[in-house]
Chains A and B, each alone.
Chain A
């Protein structure tokens, strides 16, 4: 062992992940799509809003690889902008849900006691409410008050930012989706922390006199990360599907902001005549979901090597 470089468990996991072809494919697809979403405004061939009523519902061609929609807008450009929406929502929602989940789960698991019991009761309550119902109710009850509040702010400040209705959409989408997404993270973190809390190395850290904060940060959380990373990978994919589903149902991102969900919804109405309008966003959504799943599976095998056959 003297002539080898020391290998941390993270590096070991990365080595295992790299050997898994499906996971590497998934990672590549996800990263490629993320890159496209990031540089979208510079690479889209057309403005996603610009209408060309002379070129409506055109089939795919060299000028419009994914064709055009009923207003003559370029579908490829709209799919790319849809990716921006999807990643923005997925990343923000997951980040918010994760932050809530880690804080509540870690505190509940590490300190236990009445807070833990209350927390578990609260997550159970949240999880038992039907998600769709919750989103529809929040949308119906909050959208109007928030919009009129923003209108008021605009009148007071005359700042055009209060006029942007897309912000209301996003805030509502982030909020509602994060609200229904955090409990699984909290439960997972709590379970991890509970099992790690009594490991001898944590007790040894207590015996060394280290503070709870150091113990939680340097001894407990790094060892709880493996399953959490897997859950986040799966969660990002789920969040994208969820965002599309809500937009599809009209309780998510609203037109004209492009979202795969509302594109699918529009395409579905005319799919017998213009199938490309449905196929393009649906296929991209399917590919990215599968890619996240491959990546999640690969991460699971890489981070938890005991499950190896």
Chain B
């Protein structure tokens, strides 16, 4: 295996909520805790989980768009965590992001051409003379005709805007793109178009993706590896095939069984989760999933489970899972 593109160690992000007239009283949201992973060049790592699980925060913290509260993100031998905006600027080009909402992802006062030219001219990636050709190339890359350059965002459909947002990320010639729920807001038929486009671009430009989504079925089509997150912590991290074939963490299993199946005759014996995700303001002690977990026992309430490898590349943070083959799942039922 080659050296990882990004080495992320114990990344943390806590948000302090200021209350009171002078912002003197604080409550702390544990949005992300102890996130450790190596992202390998050319791979797609997906993060899935429900709202509040910290998956988007992870993307923002890696790119230093939200300054991490702790931990490190090593890229090209430099720790990005804690760099100020000026020190961060040379790295920004390589590390890009595509957002969820196609309606607010583009500046409504700029034409598509202006939006795409901005990073090119700012980083001096092309001269003024080369610019039109470069714009046409970018638009072609995302399947749009060059005449879109003179359009304004409100004249485009959601799918077209998302293509432009991808083109803007590509304009910097990045190595790594965070796709933050990039297809979640799109219609089903358009989702498939964008998903395929992302795969095509990855092949063409050897891109590395961090693909953030809440839909496990979508993730299956794009990921080499999948991380499942719950309340700010990784619960399970495994190669895609392994995760979908043998999900080990009880939360992963529940999440998988909640995905609706496009088959009216499918049996409906779901592993239903009771209750809802607790508030990240006061996450449960020990394993954060214990309050909803069918396997919870005394240790789960007191001890935070460590991520342990139970099979090559398959990591789980659960006291009940002892090996890839033997879990206490069946025993407890």
Contact = CB atoms under 8 A, between A and B. Distances in A.
A207 B97 contact: yes
Interface string B159-178: 00000010010011000000
Interface string A35-60: 00000000000000000000000000
Interface string A181-215: 00000000000000000011101111111111010
Contacts of A218: 107, 110, 118
Contact of A204 (B105, B150, B151, B154): B105
Interface string A1-34: 1100011111000000000000000000000000
A209 B99 CA distance: 16
A205 B122 CA distance: 11
A263 to B, nearest CB: 44
A209 B151 contact: no
Interface in B21-68: 22-23, 63, 65
Contacts of B168: 204, 208
Given A6-B111, A200-B105, A209 B155 contact: no
Interface stretch (B85-93, B194-202, B206-214): B85-93
B80 to A, nearest CB: 13
A2 B63 CA distance: 37
A214 B89 CA distance: 14
Contacts of B260: none
B152 A9 contact: yes
A117 interface: yes
A212 B85 contact: yes
Nearest to B114: A218
A8 B122 contact: no
Contact of B92 (A6, A208, A222, A223): A208
Nearest to B23: A117
B243 interface: no
B291 to A, nearest CB: 31
Contacts of A170: none
Given A2-B147, A209-B119, A200 B104 contact: yes
Contacts of A274: none
Contacts of A162: none
Contacts of A7: 152, 155
B79 interface: no
A208 B172 contact: yes
Given A201-B105, A219-B107, A222-B109, A209 B93 contact: yes
Nearest to B154: A9
Contacts of B76: none
B101 interface: yes
B99 A204 contact: yes
A9 B109 contact: yes
B108 A9 contact: yes
Contacts of B90: 209
A6 B152 contact: yes
Of A9, A207, A211, which is in contact with the most chain B CB atoms at under 10 Å from its CB? A207
Given A117-B23, A204-B97, A209 B104 contact: no
Given A8-B152, A223-B109, A204 B165 contact: yes
Contacts of A204: 97, 99, 105, 165, 168
B96 interface: yes
A49 to B, nearest CB: 49
Of A8, A201, A222, which is in contact with the most chain B CB atoms at under 10 Å from its CB? A201
9 contacts: A1-B155, A8-B111, A9-B108, A10-B109, A205-B107, A205-B118, A209-B89, A209-B172, A211-B89
Interface of A: 1-2, 6-10, 117, 199-201, 203-212, 214, 218-219, 222-223
* CB-CB nearest 7 A-B residue pairs: A209-B92, A200-B99, A222-B109, A208-B119, A200-B105, A201-B107, A209-B89
